[in-house]
Amino acid sequence: MTLATLISHSQQERENWKYTDLAKLLKKPAAPRTANIAPALPDSFARFVFEDGIWQTERSRLGNLPASLLQGDAANGYRLILEGQTCLVTQPVEFLFLTTGKQAEISVPLTIELGANGRLTLIERHEGAGTIVMNVQINLQPQAKLVHCKIVKNQAAHLAMTQVDVADGAYYDNFALLCNGGVTRNEIHLRLNGKLAQGRLNGAMLLAGDSHADTTTHITHAAPHGTSRQLYKTVLADKAHGVFQGKIVVAPDAQKTDGHQLSRALLLSDQAEMDAKPQLEIYADDVKCSHGSTVGELDSDALFYLRSRGLSEAHARALLLEAFINEIADDIPVEECRTLVHAEVRRWLDDCSS
């Protein structure tokens, strides 16, 4: 999938793209800069580095993983397959995607497959001055579990489609942190195909300046006894624009479904804007489903209380914002992912208050 394909698709699917104008990408091309990002994980962990979509083998490390774990190339896409003896990976694996801005557009197809009872924690990080189009296909076999932490930071444009198929008893846990940048759209289509399949989509958007970020999710419950949870939080400063579109579809055979979604946003400026569109589409009669969204400002009473205890206004606001985001960041099940997200949240708050 390329940028041209996405622009054509957005024109055809106007309702699904009404809050995100891809034409903005053509107005302000980013200036090239060197991609030099500090490691997120200790050297003992596996790390795969991609610069402008090309796997940099000399800058990557496999740790204790087999050399055949990742296959493919930039032209034909990359494949990470865990099965047989390599089905259990106990330490997080980091995929670091850097864009220098030297190319107008980078397109990266990525396939991830976990065999039955497989376990993997994947940290997917994106940073740089370029435009990247990600097309990610994830397939979880029965009883497999994937914890997927994604961080997108300061990219000129990041357009991602992640499609996940979850079999019987398998579990997909996603946390996405979107920080600033030009135009970001992180779209996730999660299909719970098997009985007792579970999915959790959480995330935060931290936006300042004229950043635009769009989180669009679509969860399909296609089998009985499925469970899904969604919670997204957004903080908007200056002239930033945030979008949340979440949809849960319950098929006729998906009885005993339990699905919930919620979007909460805080506006720090009169010029900031948030659009939220939660949706339910239910064709079964024995389900528990809910959806909702809130948009507001910082609690003035809480802010007054902290200031009455001697805190400056900037410090008090930062504490309240950090608590707002950490409510979901603290729920990330893997310590390394939690630590990384906490550090990025603190860094954004420091930059925003300076």
How confident is the model over 208-246, as pLDDT tens digits? 999 999 999 999 999 999 999 999 999 999 999 999 999
Please tell me the predicted confidence (pLDDT) of residue 36.
46
Q: To 10 degrees, the CA torsion angle through 336, 337, 339, 342?
A: 180
H or E element, residue 24? none
In whole angstroms, give the CA distance from residue 344 to residue 125: 12
Please tell me the predicted confidence (pLDDT) of residue 40.
61
Q: How far apart are the first and last CA of the chain?
A: 39
Please tell me the predicted confidence (pLDDT) of residue 236.
97
In whole angstroms, give the CA distance from residue 178 to residue 259: 24
- Residue 174 inside a domain? The answer is yes
- Residue 50 inside a domain? The answer is yes
DSSP letter string over 103-171? SS-EEEEEEEEE-TT-EEEEEEEEEESSEEEEEEEEEE-TT-EEEEEEEEES-SEEEEEEEEEE-TT-E
| Residue with token string 């990025």 | 344
Please tell me the predicted confidence (pLDDT) of residue 295.
96
Please tell me the predicted confidence (pLDDT) of residue 168.
98
Mean pLDDT of 174-186: 95
* Residue 41 clears pLDDT 70, i.e. is over it: no
DSSP letter string over 155-186? -SEEEEEEEEEE-TT-EEEEEEEEES-SEEEE
Mean pLDDT of 323-327: 95
- Residue 337 inside a domain? The answer is no
* Residue 84 clears pLDDT 90, i.e. is over it: no
- Residue 338 inside a domain? The answer is no
Apex 87 CA angle, 86 and 88, nearest 5: 95
Q: Is 291 exposed, middle or buried (0-12, 13-18, 19+ CB in 10 A)?
A: middle
* Residue 202 clears pLDDT 90, i.e. is over it: yes
In whole angstroms, give the CA distance from residue 337 to residue 123: 7
Q: Is 182 exposed, middle or buried (0-12, 13-18, 19+ CB in 10 A)?
A: buried
- Residue 314 inside a domain? The answer is no
Domain residues for the domain of 147 are 3-298
- Residue 341 inside a domain? The answer is no
Please tell me the predicted confidence (pLDDT) of residue 35.
43
Both structure tokens of 162? 């992640």
pLDDT tens per residue, range 256-312: 999 999 999 999 999 999 999 999 999 999 999 999 999 999 999 999 999 999 998
Confidence of residue 73 (pLDDT cuts 50, 70, 90): very high
Q: Is 259 exposed, middle or buried (0-12, 13-18, 19+ CB in 10 A)?
A: buried
Per residue, what are the HEC states of 278-317?
EEEEECCCCEEEEEEEEEECCCHHHHHHHHHCCCCHHHHH
* Residue 154 clears pLDDT 90, i.e. is over it: no
> What is the SS3 assignment for 56?
coil
Please tell me the predicted confidence (pLDDT) of residue 28.
57
- Residue 328 inside a domain? The answer is no
In whole angstroms, give the CA distance from residue 99 to residue 273: 28
Please tell me the predicted confidence (pLDDT) of residue 354.
67
Tell me what the pLDDT averaged over the chain comes to: 91
* Residue 31 clears pLDDT 80, i.e. is over it: no
- Residue 309 inside a domain? The answer is no
pLDDT tens per residue, range 118-144: 999 999 999 988 899 999 999 999 999
- List CB contacts of 224: < 8 A, sequence separation 6 or more: 195, 253, 254, 255, 256, 257
Q: For residue 178, which of 129, 243, 112 has the smallest C-alpha distance?
A: 243
Domain count, the chain: 1
| Residue with token string 């490390």 | 61
Please tell me the predicted confidence (pLDDT) of residue 353.
75
> What is the SS3 assignment for 270?
coil
Mean pLDDT of 179-193: 95
